[in-house]
Structures are given as C-alpha cells and as structure tokens.
C-alpha cells in the first residue's frame, strides 16, 4: 500500500486554514498515486485546543471540517485527527479520534485509549478513553490505527494497565499507523524513536508515524515523522522543525531507498526549536515586529539573534537602556551586535527616569541605604520604557530572562521579567553560553566580549551575578536535578554537593514561585519547563 505522510503546521481553531492545507495535501497524495494519506493527531483543531473543547460550537466546527475533508477523499483515503462527541451519555463529553475518510465520507472513527495526564498533558480533562479495539480493513490490508500515547506503554515503567496494540494484534493486522502530537524537548527525539522501535520490533509490523510540527504558544512540535519496517529500522524520516511530505510503499519498505535526517546536537535542536517558536508565535498572532532590551549581556544577545533569524533582522528593534552603572563596554558590545545583525537600535539613557523615581520615593524610603529597592527601580524604569514603545508601535516585547534566573528569582517583576514571550525561560545559563558559541560557529555574530565577560545585571557598582548566585556550572546542575529529575535535597547532597548550598538553592526556587506565576509564556525546550508542565503551590512550606 502506498501511504503518504503529511507533516503540517496547524493553527489552533483556524479551521479554514487547517482544512485548506489538509485538502491540498490530499490532492497532492492523489496525484502521486497514494492509496492513503496520514495526518496528525487533532489535526483539524490543532493541538492542544485545551478549554476550547468545552465549547460545543468549537467541536461542531471540527465535525463540519471533517465532513468537508472527507468529501475530497474520493480516490484516496485519509486519516485525520479530530475530537468527536461522546454520545453514550456517560463519561467525559468527547473522544480524541482518528477519522478514516474514504469514498466521500467518514468510514470509521478510531478512539484514543491512553490519555496522558502528566506534565503538559491534560487530556483526561476532556476525553473519555476508548475501550473497543477494531482494525481497519482497506485495500486488502488490515491497519492497526492508534493515536500518540497508545504506543507509549512499552516502556520499562508502564503508566497504564492496558496496551492497545496487544488488543489489536488479536485481529492480525498487517501494519501499524500512529498519528501523534508529540511535543519537543531536546531529548525527545531519541526517546520517541526508541518507543517506536520497540513497537515495530515487538509486533513485527511496519509502522507509519505522523507528528505535528510548529509552535502552539509555548509548546513546540518538531515533526520527525517516519516510516519503519517490521524490524524497527527507519526507512524514511521527515524533516525537523518544518513541514514535509513523503510517500512510501509499505509492501516494499525493506527495499525502499532510505532517507534519514542528519544527526544534530542538543544545542542545535534547541536553537532551531526556539527560532521556530518565535516565528510561529508572531505569525499565528498576526504580529511582525519584536522589541527587546539589548543590555550587552549574553541573554539579550542570544535572544536578539534568535529573533532576527525568526522574524528578519529588520523586524527586531533593539533598545539600549544604560544607567549610571552601565559599563562602556556593555553599551559598545550591544551596538556591535546590533550592527552585526543589521538590526535597528536606539539608545535611551534611563538616568532621568531613575532620578525621578528616586526623588519621588526618597521621602518615603526614610533615609534607608541604597539596596535592592533602588536596583529594581532601574529594571522597572527599563520595563516601563520598553512597554511604552511596544504599545506605541505594536511590537511584541521579548523577555530575555534565562531558566537559571527564573528558577531562583534573580529578576525584577514588572521590570526585566516583562514581555509577551519568554524566549530563554527554559534555557539554563550554561546552555545560553552554548547557544552563543553555536551561533558564532561560522562567523562572529555575538561579540566575543559578551560571551567571555562575567555576567552582571549592572544595577550597582561592579556588580556580578556571582555576588548573589553560585557559579552557574554548579547552580545549573543542582537546578536540573531538582526541576527536571525531581531529586530531593538529600539525593542531591548524596551526589557530592554541599548541603548548605543545596538547601539555599532549593529554598530560592520554592520561595520565588510567585514570580514565575507572573511571567510571559515560556518556550518549552526541556522535559520540565516552568509553566503548565510544572504546577506548584505558592503558599507552601516545602524546603523553606
């Protein structure tokens, strides 16, 4: 059977756009002699639609969209992900389904069995799990059709008590098809391939896998759809971070010329994911231009480069906001970067604004010495100016804080934590340095001094990050163990780290949860990002 894999970038709730793209791919597959074309999980609605699924009108539009798509499936069949109503009057109101369309109508709905309800997933909030298992017979082939998580219960620590493929194997299928919405993290590619390999080799069936690509607010989807033969060897692998299309013959997979994507490093994946995330965020919101505060530090420099690649250098407005504490080299480094990128920039000295705030508050500060209050006034002055320019010209302000800072609260609410999108909020400081080196791999875009000088907020004389924080090489390891690996303090200390230091860092993380509740959406590139995938109470006493 000739099967087309269609890897598309969908837009949540944009039914006209999604349907138009799907129909165009159906016609393309038909022109190439395909028997079947496969699209991703919840393709019609986009993934994740979240509480849009609570609106009956939204699901009805999904249903009408599927009917329109099915009407174009006259000579080629299509598998398309969509929500449908649960008509049994028991359980959750919807099913997450794969519609099998042929001969102008929907012939069959396959319902998703395993509904993830961890990290960023919340499917059991909306969907009822499937409890009936049936293969699809088409053109002499028996297809075991599953949806994303349905193939993931083959790990060493299974989350579910049932395995859909074990049930479907009782009907002796000829091949597996899995439609997915598998979000990106920089380790997910290997994990995903391992899971798919386990399925193909365990059941000794060829496997067609189609994933989403593109960004949906903070969630990034990397694509990487593929076809495996019955031994688990990848025969075709589609592109990462862009739309793609391929056609395979499942009867001759082992004889098919292999097309595999080149290996990439974790830092390259992070880079490409962030560029895609920024680009899609602006496109899908209908914005074209970004603004950011360019300080001469590494975080804002890396953010500026990512934004320039995503939006075009001419669409990134860099604003330098020096104060009395800003060093000449920071200003000069920022100017050099803007010129290297050919991006517009302006210099707005915040001294008058800062002085006005200081003098206004002086009678009420009661003669207390200069401290973090005055430091934060500078950051908030910058935030006010950036937001003023953002409002005036309709630009989205990019937040430049990194994950290390966000974790320990090393940032100012309503100041440098402002923004419509956090580009680096899931990127540790040590990874930011890696990104900078990656960006400079061919030519110096980011001035070398930005990379090599000690990090500083420059909010008081001779300030360094190391005055307030441990060395980032140590801090980031401890943060990773606590945040991504969920290790407790005793476990981290047992790894060889000082107890006093570990206790201090973990206390900072938990104390500053209230700040993270007020940050912009953070592009997710790790397995545990701040935001919807990490839900912590603010008024708690754990490790404080």
Specify the DSSP element, H or E, that contains 481: helix 472-483
Contact 454, 436 (CB under 8 A): no
* Distant-in-sequence, close-in-space partners of 31: CB < 8 Å, separation ≥ 6: none
Cross-strand bridge partners of residue 178: 146, 209
Contact 234, 258 (CB under 8 A): yes
Query: Sign of the CA dihedral 502, 507, 508, 510?
Result: positive
Q: Catalytic: which of 73, 148, 218, 487?
A: 148
Rounded Cα distance, 526 and 372, in Å: 31
Is 148 designated active site?
Answer: yes
Rounded to the nearest angstrom, the gap between the alpha carbon of residue 375 and the centroid of all alpha carbons in its chain is 33
Rounded Cα distance, 366 and 100, in Å: 72
Residue 182 carries which DSSP code? -
Rounded Cα distance, 383 and 444, in Å: 29
Is 101 designated active site?
Answer: no
Query: Sign of the CA dihedral 69, 72, 73, 76?
Result: negative
Rounded Cα distance, 159 and 164, in Å: 13
* Distant-in-sequence, close-in-space partners of 494: CB < 8 Å, separation ≥ 6: none
Q: Catalytic: which of 21, 112, 487, 515?
A: 112
Q: Catalytic: which of 21, 25, 30, 41?
A: 41
Specify the DSSP element, H or E, that contains 110: strand 105-111
Rounded Cα distance, 268 and 240, in Å: 11
| Sheet order of strands, 141-147 included | 136-138, 141-147, 175-179, 207-210, 226-228, 234-237
Is 41 designated active site?
Answer: yes
Write the DSSP string, 185-218: -TTHHHHHHHHHHHHHHHHT--EEEE--EEEETT
Beta strand 345-347 pairing with 396-399: unpaired
Contact 25, 79 (CB under 8 A): no
Backbone angles phi, psi at 112, to 5 degrees: -75, 135
Q: Tokens 């001419």 correspond to what residue?
A: 314
Rounded Cα distance, 166 and 155, in Å: 14
Backbone angles phi, psi at 157, to 5 degrees: -120, 75
* Distant-in-sequence, close-in-space partners of 163: CB < 8 Å, separation ≥ 6: 153, 154
List the catalytic residues. 41, 112, 148
């Amino acid at each position: 059977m000739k099967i087309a894999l269609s890897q598309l970038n969908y837009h949540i709730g944009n039914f006209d756009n999604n349907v138009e793209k799907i129909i165009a791919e159906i016609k393309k597959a038909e022109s190439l002699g395909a028997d079947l074309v496969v699209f991703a999980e919840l393709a019609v609605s986009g993934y994740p639609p979240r509480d849009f699924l609570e609106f009956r009108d939204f699901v009805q539009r999904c249903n009408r969209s599927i009917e329109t798509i099915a009407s174009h499936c006259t000579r080629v069949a299509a598998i398309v992900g969509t929500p449908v109503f649960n008509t049994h009057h028991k359980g959750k109101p919807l099913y997450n389904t794969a519609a099998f369309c042929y001969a102008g109508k929907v012939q069959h709905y396959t319902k998703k069995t395993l509904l993830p309800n961890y990290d960023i997933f919340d499917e059991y909030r909306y969907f009822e799990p499937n409890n009936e298992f049936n293969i699809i017979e088409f053109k002499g082939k028996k297809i075991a059709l599953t949806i994303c998580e349905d193939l993931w219960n083959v790990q060493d620590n299974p989350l579910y008590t049932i395995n859909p493929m074990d049930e479907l194997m009782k009907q002796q299928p000829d091949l597996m098809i899995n439609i997915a919405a598998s979000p990106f993290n920089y380790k997910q590619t290997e994990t995903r391939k391992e899971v798919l390999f386990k399925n193909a080799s365990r059941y000794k069936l060829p496997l067609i896998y189609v994933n989403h690509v593109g960004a949906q607010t903070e969630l990034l989807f990397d694509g990487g759809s593929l076809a495996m033969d019955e031994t688990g060897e990848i025969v075709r692998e589609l592109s990462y971070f862009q739309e793609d299309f391929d056609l395979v013959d499942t009867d001759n997979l082992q004889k098919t010329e292999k097309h595999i994507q080149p290996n990439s490093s974790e830092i390259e994946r992070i880079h490409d994911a962030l560029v895609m995330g920024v680009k899609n965020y602006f496109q899908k919101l209908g914005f074209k231009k970004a603004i950011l505060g360019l300080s001469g530090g590494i975080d804002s420099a890396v953010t500026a480069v990512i934004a320039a690649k995503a939006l075009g250098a001419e669409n990134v407005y860099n604003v330098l906001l020096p104060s009395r504490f800003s060093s000449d080299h920071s200003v000069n480094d920022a100017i050099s970067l803007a010129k290297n990128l050919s991006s517009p920039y302006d210099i707005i000295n915040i001294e008058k604004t800062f002085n006005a705030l200081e003098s206004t508050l002086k009678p009420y500060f009661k003669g207390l010495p200069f401290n973090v209050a005055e430091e934060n006034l500078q950051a908030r002055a910058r935030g006010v100016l950036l937001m003023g320019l953002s409002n005036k010209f309709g630009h989205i302000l990019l937040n430049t804080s990194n994950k290390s800072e966000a974790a320990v609260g090393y940032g100012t609410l309503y100041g440098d934590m402002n923004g419509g999108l956090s580009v680096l909020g899931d990127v540790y400081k040590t990874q930011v340095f890696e990104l900078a080196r990656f960006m400079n791999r061919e030519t110096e875009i980011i001035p070398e001094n930005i990379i090599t000088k000690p990090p500083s907020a420059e909010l008081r004389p001779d300030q360094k990050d190391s005055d307030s924080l441990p060395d980032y090489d140590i801090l980031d390891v401890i943060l990773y163990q606590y945040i991504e690996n969920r290790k407790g303090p005793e476990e981290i200390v047992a790894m060889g780290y000082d107890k006093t230091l570990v206790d201090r860092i973990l206390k900072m993380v938990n104390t500053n949860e209230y700040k993270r509740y007020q940050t912009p959406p953070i592009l997710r590139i790790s397995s545990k990002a701040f935001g919807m995938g990490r839900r912590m109470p603010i008024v708690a006493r754990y490790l404080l």
